[in-house]
Structure 1
């Protein structure tokens, strides 16, 4: 339901904005008025969730800011040292709290193919 509401908001927001701009110049068509009413309904329905999300963001912001200040430089160092993240497994938390990131096993190397026929000779 939340995805549908988000999708509807993204799709219908330009219609509602356009409808409000044109309202002063001419009357709204039935489609424009319907889109406007739909958007108003969505906004009324989403208002409590958005207010709750805003309160959560206010509560979490100091912690995130502190985390970024403390961990940001160290994470930047790690990002500079690792060339290709695709060669590592997902992080794993051990029972003692340690976090390990294992390297993926490398695929076995195939020996170079031996030519069955000699290479063709070129006349000079």
Structure 2
């Protein structure tokens, strides 16, 4: 009986001896390296997803450039205007400052729909 007990205990102890000792915890340097690689991977995948949208936005901004130049020519110096104010009906009013020089002459109408000046010089938008 003692022999059987000794044999069974030795068989149970064999798997415990075969286990590897626990690995030491990673150092702080290894942790920062892992964080850096993870952040780099995240940013690269994010840029890959955003690249088409950024290119499309760039094309749109390039098309907007001529319109912004026309608006700047129409307004003249922005410092000659007061801050915009919203009216109760939702309209936005941008008043010219009282001490500002006269506004620049309006550019010639391009003949597009709704851009023909009225006899008093106003343009319906």
TM-score of the pair, normalised by structure 1: 0.39
Structure number with greater Rg is 2
TM-score of the pair, normalised by structure 2: 0.39
